[in-house]
Amino acid sequence: MGGKSADLFDKAYMRWLIIRLGAGLAVSIFISTILLGWILYAPFHGDYASIFKGLSQVHQRVSMAVIFTGFVQGASSGLAVFICLLFWTHRVAGPVFRLKHSFKQLENGNFRLRIRLRKKDQLQEFATLLNEGIGSTRRSWKELGREVEDLKKELQAQNGEDSAAQPEKILSRLNKMAEIVRRLHG
């Protein structure tokens, strides 16, 4: 937490995701290049005049090769992106679901809550900060409860006594409780 602003996503995880996407694209380009070379490879048995006669056949063959390799490259790239995004959403969607569930519990007044994420999940920093805020709020509520109980005891004890110092003690307690309420409300 320190004094530095933390990133929402772990840098090592983002680097891992980018490397995987880049590797997937590089593999798809490599496969497409090999397929294009394989489709276009044809032994040359003839003279150059016969090449110009079959120019339409060459054009057709090159067009089909480009379409085929483009399809293979697109499909393999799409598959690589899909797999990487599947892993990415698994590491982000799970924590988002847990945080949403935790917010609902907080809304219902559950301040004993601790948000726990898996080790490799993203949003760890966010969950830690939220846990710290929940803990601080819980401590303030406990302190406020103790002050209220102490004030009740003093008021019950005062019923039988007539002391001039009692209003100052009560005022001091009320001021302390007001300070705690100010902390809770920001």
pTM: 0.50
Cα Rg of the chain, angstroms: 35
Do 74 and 97 belong to one domain?
yes
Q: Residue 67 in contact with residue 33, Cβ under 8 Å?
A: no
Quote the CA–CA distance of 81 and 75 in Å, as a whole number. Answer: 10
Do 43 and 128 belong to one domain?
no
Do 103 and 132 belong to one domain?
no
Domain that holds residue 139: 123-186
Tens digit of pLDDT at every position of the chain (186 positions): 444 444 666 777 778 778 887 887 788 788 877 777 776 666 666 665 665 666 666 667 777 777 887 788 888 888 878 887 777 777 778 888 888 888 888 888 787 888 888 887 888 888 888 889 888 888 888 888 888 788 777 776 766 665 555 677 777 777 777 777 777 665
Do 28 and 55 belong to one domain?
yes
Q: Within 13 Å and on the Cβ side, how many CA atoms surround 168?
A: 3
How many structural domains compose the chain?
2
114: in domain: no
Residue 109 dihedral angles phi and psi, to the nearest 5°: 90, 15
Q: Is the dihedral of CA 152, 158, 159, 164 positive or negative?
A: negative
Do 13 and 62 belong to one domain?
yes
Do 13 and 63 belong to one domain?
yes
Do 101 and 175 belong to one domain?
no
Do 98 and 141 belong to one domain?
no
